[in-house]
Amino acid sequence: MLGVYRLYEGRLQSQIETQVAPSHIGIILDGNRRWAASQRLANGMGHEEGANRAEELLDWCHELGIKTITLYVLSTENLDRTPEELKKLFVLIEARLARLVSDERIARYKVRVRAIGQLELLPKSIRDLLSAIEAKTAGFEDHYLNIAVAYGGRAEITDMVRAVAQEVKAGKLAPEEITEETIGKRLYTSYLPNQEPELIVRTSGEERMSGFLLWQGAYSELVFMDVFWPAFRKIDLMRAIRTYQRRTRRRGK
């Protein structure tokens, strides 16, 4: 069975290598709890296995030449879950961030890591780890890993509008000077060389954006996959890239 998988993986890789791969992909990591239920495991095991896939993803994207990854890890709506589930999630997130701080691949691949979202809603221990990772990787620019945590697209746009309104009120910006570039410079992703993901993938079979990169993803190609995130494999990523490559991107033209 492993031999068949390797053959298929090699075939997919040879196919996508003949076309241009997306430089920035966004992934909505969905289906952790449903995967656990399908395996008759506790919810926490689904999140744990999902975190394993997210760590493997860094290698896959490097091998496939993808420069920027934005992962939708935890939405602002997810924060409405039960205190017991949130506590377990925060413990897992903290443990994986602690591993990320010392992950040798970050320096080897020169990955700049940054969290985007309403980080003030997170426990201080997680915020401290995120600050440490951002400081440690601030000088890297070969690759970018964005962790969307306590993130909501509407909240991001609201924060952007508030920032623009404050500048207008202070007389630093005239209303007629507001452009798409003005907005882009005030989004959470403003530090990226390419804010707009060419491809957004959602796992678990759900076909909606759930507030993910609402502004940046306006012209992203969307690929919805039936596989639950913990069961996601490198061949699933390559299948999504192949789907992207087979489409004609018109951007409204």
Q: Is 80 a catalytic residue?
A: no
Nearest partner of 25 among 143, 115, 109, 141, judged by Cα = 143
With beta carbons less than 8 A apart as the criterion, state whether 61 and 86 touch: no
Please pick, among 59, 78, 146, 226, the residue that the annotation labels catalytic: 78
For residues 246 and 240, give the distance between their C-alpha atoms in angstroms, rounded to a whole number: 10
With beta carbons less than 8 A apart as the criterion, state whether 74 and 89 touch: yes
Q: Is 132 exposed, middle or buried (0-12, 13-18, 19+ CB in 10 A)?
A: middle
- One-letter amino acid identity for 42? A
- 3-state DSSP of 222-235: EEECCCCHHHCCHH
For residues 9 and 242, give the distance between their C-alpha atoms in angstroms, rounded to a whole number: 12
Q: Is 30 a catalytic residue?
A: yes
CB atoms within 10 A of CB 177: 10
Q: Which residues contact residue 136 at a Cβ distance below 8 angstroms, ignoring those fewer than 6 apart?
A: 101, 106
For residues 25 and 104, give the distance between their C-alpha atoms in angstroms, rounded to a whole number: 22
Please pick, among 30, 43, 146, 236, the residue that the annotation labels catalytic: 30
With beta carbons less than 8 A apart as the criterion, state whether 149 and 122 touch: yes
Which residues are designated catalytic? 30, 78
